[in-house]
Amino acid sequence: MKKQRVLWICLVAVLSLITLPVFSQGAKDSAATGPVAIELWYGAAVTEAGPPPADWVGYSIIKEKLNIDLKLTALPSNESDQDVKIQAAAAANNLPDLFMVRRDVLGRLVGQGLVAPVDDLYAKMPIRTATHYDSVSQSHARFAGKSYGLADPGSINKNEGLLIRKDWLDNLGLAVPTTLDELMDVLRAFTYDDPDGNGKNDTYGYGAFQEINNYEAWPGRRLEPIFGAFGVDGTWSLKAADPGLMVLKDGFFDAMVFLKKMVDEGVMDPNWLAYKKDDFRAAWKQGRFGVMREQNAAFAAESNYAPFDKNFPNGEWIVVDAPIGPGGHASIGPYTASFRIYAISAKAEKAGKKDKIAALLEWMASDEGYYLLGWGVEGVNYTLDKNGVPVADQIANRDLAFTGSVGQTVTQLRNMVFYNGDIELLARYPKYITATSKKEMSALEVLRTMQTKTWTAAIGSDTLPIPNADLKRFYEQGLSEFITGKRVLNRTNWNAWIEQFKKLGGQSWNDSAVAFAAEHGLLI
């Protein structure tokens, strides 16, 4: 009897569990007669910082001023997960009204007739178009003569530079190297002449790790200044006169020979093939090497520079020009223009929401929307300094400031309003005095200096076709084997390897990318 009662109680509890919380819906759609409901799938600015809270002031302002009931969904942080979610929703004709999407997925959605053209919207958003959409941007999401995506500016270009330990140069009485040969001399001195004067043989010339992406193939970004000296930096040449894979160009072999020489002479930190990003960054902060390519804020932002400052109060890194190679080439590396594309579903267009979406985006670009979405509420999340730049240090509650854990949730949409303008950069990279050496640092000044250096334009090279996994493996493994000595690097072996690479699909990869670049007007 007792058992039966217990069983009944359990069953009732189970049914309650199932029917109450489990089937509860996250948010109800607004009533059909009320404000226009707009569902936005956005890319979060700080993926791990949670979404704007339910009582975020932005919801009420948008409803009051634009008569829009905004429903936000943060897209997954990983691009391939974003693609899956969007394509599954597309298959069920369940795309949201406005959503962030990658270009190649957008192309597929265009083919399926699931997204609306946006050419007519630029004129309806004069403020936003002036700040966000130039001609490159407007053509970025163009398919068959129509623009199907609003391509907002992405990350900052040319934000890396070649850095050298000035204090080591001074200790050794050396000048800043300008050519590749001079650089090699400096690397040798940094490795063998005890540049830090500690009496130990514990330093190296050049530090790197393998950082590879679509447009910066092996050995990747950190060694681009070396390959740039031979005119073969980046995966692709987009020169109209000589387009194609850099690995197929003559200079690439010479660059490989130079890199092999750096490795063989021991002037490269020998851990460069094993380092991960964090190891690499820990290594320069420990004074392990004296030349590197690094990102402006990863080098100079307060929290990133602090350990180096603590370890080496007299240490000094300076941004230098890319070394000039034997043929007169020099480049820090390739750069491309990145965009965040927002598309409007055909369903939203049919429902007559397109103008409302334009109004929403234009409001985001107004002063009110720009500051609210970029930094939050004045006095609560930020204050303005004498130059009109939002700052966080006057906010008493650190968590609420736009730099704090709570403040970040209300600025999750900031990538929809930022366009890398001066105010954003000044707010992002404030000047500061270092804790130990008491010197003034500014990641923004470092950025500006880096941007003055020589770079190789490769706009759109990140959108070119990618190789299949087998070809990619052959490419990366083969090149690294030449450098590590598993393959002997000479002309005969190199030519044989290139031939094999072409046969395995390298030639067709090259040809398809060149055709793609020509078709999309990427050649210069």
CA distances from 374 to 131, 136, 231, 362, 432 (A): 15, 24, 39, 14, 22
Cβ of 108: how many Cβ atoms within 10 Å? 15
> What minimum distance in Å lies between the beta carbon of 471 and another protein?
26
Choose one: 66-74, 235-243, 370-378, 485-493; the region binding another protein (CB under 8 A): 66-74
Choose one: 45-53, 104-112, 341-349, 367-375; the region binding another protein (CB under 8 A): 45-53
Rounded to 5°, angle at Cα 397 from 379 and 51:
80
> What minimum distance in Å lies between the beta carbon of 281 and another protein?
8
Q: Does 302 help bind another protein (rule: CB under 8 A)?
A: yes
Cβ closest to another protein, residue 59 vs residue 143: 59
> Judged by CB under 8 A, which of 6, 47, 355, 397 binds another protein?
47
> What minimum distance in Å lies between the beta carbon of 454 and another protein?
23
Contacts of 524 by beta carbon, 8 Å cutoff, 6+ apart:
238, 239, 240, 457, 459
The answer to whether the CB of 370 falls within 8 A of the CB of 415 is no
Choose one: 25-33, 125-133, 161-169, 475-483; the region binding another protein (CB under 8 A): 25-33
> Judged by CB under 8 A, which of 7, 12, 176, 496 binds another protein?
7
Structure token digits, residue 484: 């590590």
> What minimum distance in Å lies between the beta carbon of 413 and another protein?
12
Cβ closest to another protein, residue 201 vs residue 311: 311
- DSSP-derived secondary structure letter, 415: G
Contacts of 501 by beta carbon, 8 Å cutoff, 6+ apart:
247, 471, 474, 475, 478
Size of the site for another protein (CB under 8 A): 69
Q: Does 468 help bind another protein (rule: CB under 8 A)?
A: no
What span, in angstroms and rounded, lies between the C-alpha atoms of 142 and 136?
Answer: 10
Q: Could you say which residues in the range 408-437 bind another protein, by CB under 8 A?
A: 408-409, 428-430
Q: Does 396 help bind another protein (rule: CB under 8 A)?
A: no
Rounded to 5°, angle at Cα 200 from 194 and 201:
65
What span, in angstroms and rounded, lies between the C-alpha atoms of 235 and 244?
Answer: 8
Q: Does 85 help bind another protein (rule: CB under 8 A)?
A: yes
250 CB-side CA count, 13 A: 2
Choose one: 200-208, 224-232, 307-315, 372-380; the region binding another protein (CB under 8 A): 307-315
- H/E stretch holding 141: none
> Judged by CB under 8 A, which of 301, 324, 330, 483 binds another protein?
301
> Judged by CB under 8 A, which of 1, 32, 54, 469 binds another protein?
54
> What minimum distance in Å lies between the beta carbon of 106 and another protein?
19
At 269, give phi and psi (nearest 5°). Answer: -55, 120
Preceding peptide of 117 cis, ω within 30°: no
Cβ closest to another protein, residue 160 vs residue 362: 160
CA nearest neighbour of 212 among 156, 276, 153, 263: 276
Q: Does 1 help bind another protein (rule: CB under 8 A)?
A: no
Q: Does 470 help bind another protein (rule: CB under 8 A)?
A: no
How do strand 289-295 and strand 204-206 relate by DSSP bridges?
parallel
Cβ closest to another protein, residue 266 vs residue 404: 404
> What minimum distance in Å lies between the beta carbon of 208 and another protein?
15
Which residue type sits at 314? N
Q: Does 290 help bind another protein (rule: CB under 8 A)?
A: no
What span, in angstroms and rounded, lies between the C-alpha atoms of 27 and 72?
Answer: 10
Q: Does 154 help bind another protein (rule: CB under 8 A)?
A: no
> What minimum distance in Å lies between the beta carbon of 127 and another protein?
25
Q: Does 452 help bind another protein (rule: CB under 8 A)?
A: no
- DSSP-derived secondary structure letter, 377: S
Cβ closest to another protein, residue 51 vs residue 505: 51
Q: Does 510 help bind another protein (rule: CB under 8 A)?
A: no
What span, in angstroms and rounded, lies between the C-alpha atoms of 322 and 331?
Answer: 5
> Judged by CB under 8 A, which of 55, 278, 367, 519 binds another protein?
278
Q: Does 74 help bind another protein (rule: CB under 8 A)?
A: yes
List, in sequence order, every beta strand (DSSP E) within 367-515: 383-384, 390-391, 432-433, 440-441, 456-457
The answer to whether the CB of 440 falls within 8 A of the CB of 317 is no
CA nearest neighbour of 460 among 329, 333, 339: 339
Residues that bind another protein (CB under 8 A): 7, 14, 17-18, 21-27, 39, 41, 44, 46-51, 53-54, 72-74, 76-78, 81, 84-85, 88-89, 91-92, 94, 96, 155, 277-279, 282-283, 285-286, 295, 297-298, 301-304, 306-307, 310-311, 392, 398-399, 402-406, 408-409, 428-430
